[in-house]
């Protein structure tokens, strides 16, 4: 059975993200493997430091996994860390860089293996976008290829700051049957191991399907 997946709308590892405590409990461990890949050009060390302080306050430790470029994603040593992890977290930054680094790499295959063995996987902002396929392209709101841990699902993070025109464009371009979810910051859309969905955190999630508002029942199981 696959593990839980949490898609976070951004502003991760801070007040309002208390769902991380429940995710830790579901993982059965006290260590979180954090990949700052998406922030490779935006001070990844700061992302790791923020995650470390946050999870230490929850009684856990952070294992940084410094996958910043494609060469890192090909590392068998880093892939082993990911495959052994019980809680894997992809932070925010550039979803396009994250995808290009991880796509079809040993580190990505290790994440998939860990998830299929029950590990918790979380992604925030860019991390949430890239875990899905298709992936919303932040440059214009159209769709592009994602990593595909979750299929027939796409997310818009930081949804409260996504313009009405951009939202309309993305909703209009969505293929028939595709579930599109706008997730606010400090908010998680969580898929449980049994395929059911829930929302946790400080904000809300808005679901669209076939161009119209929908509810969580429209999401793939």
CATH of 5-218, one of 3.50.50.60, 3.40.50.11540, 3.40.50.880, 3.40.50.720: 3.40.50.880
Are the beta carbons of 83 and 114 closer than 8 angstroms? yes
Instruction: Output the six-digit token pair for 194.
Output: 């049994």
Q: Is pLDDT of 185 > 90?
A: yes
Q: What percent of the chain has pLDDT over 90?
A: 95
Q: Is pLDDT of 115 > 90?
A: yes
Q: Tokens 């599109």 sit at which residue?
A: 180
Report the pLDDT averaged over residues 137-165: 94
Q: Is pLDDT of 1 > 90?
A: no
Question: Each residue of 74-98: pLDDT tens digit?
Answer: 999 999 999 999 999 999 999 999 9
What confidence score (pLDDT) does residue 196 get? 97
Domain segments of the chain as ranges: 5-218
Q: How confident is the model at residue 62 (pLDDT cuts 50, 70, 90)?
A: very high
Question: Each residue of 162-180: pLDDT tens digit?
Answer: 989 889 999 999 999 999 9
What confidence score (pLDDT) does residue 194 get? 96
Are the beta carbons of 206 and 156 closer than 8 angstroms? no
- Distance between CA atoms of residues 195 and 75, nearest Å: 32
């Amino acid at each position: 059975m696959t593990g839980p997946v949490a898609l976070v709308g951004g502003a991760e590892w801070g007040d309002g993200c208390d769902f991380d405590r429940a995710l830790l409990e579901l993982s059965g461990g006290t260590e979180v493997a954090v990949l700052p890949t998406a922030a490779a050009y935006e001070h990844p060390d700061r992302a790791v430091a923020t995650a470390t302080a946050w999870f230490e306050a929850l009684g856990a430790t952070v294992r940084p996994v410094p996958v910043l470029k494609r060469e890192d994603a090909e590392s068998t040593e880093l892939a082993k860390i990911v495959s052994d992890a019980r809680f894997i977290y992809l932070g925010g930054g550039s979803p396009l860089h994250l995808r290009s680094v991880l796509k079809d790499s040993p580190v990505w295959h290790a994440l998939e293996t860990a998830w299929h063995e029950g590990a918790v996987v979380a992604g925030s902002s860019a991390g949430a976008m890239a875990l899905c396929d298709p992936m919303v392209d932040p440059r214009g709101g159209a769709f592009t290829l994602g990593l595909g841990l979750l299929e027939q699902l796409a997310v818009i993070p930081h949804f409260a700051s996504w313009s009405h025109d951009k939202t309309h464009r993305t909703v209009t371009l969505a293929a028939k049957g595709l579930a599109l979810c706008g997730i606010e910051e400090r908010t998680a859309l969580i898929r449980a191991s049994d395929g059911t969905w829930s929302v946790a955190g400080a904000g809300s999630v808005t679901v669209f399907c076939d161009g119209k508002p929908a509810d969580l029942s429209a999401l793939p199981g």
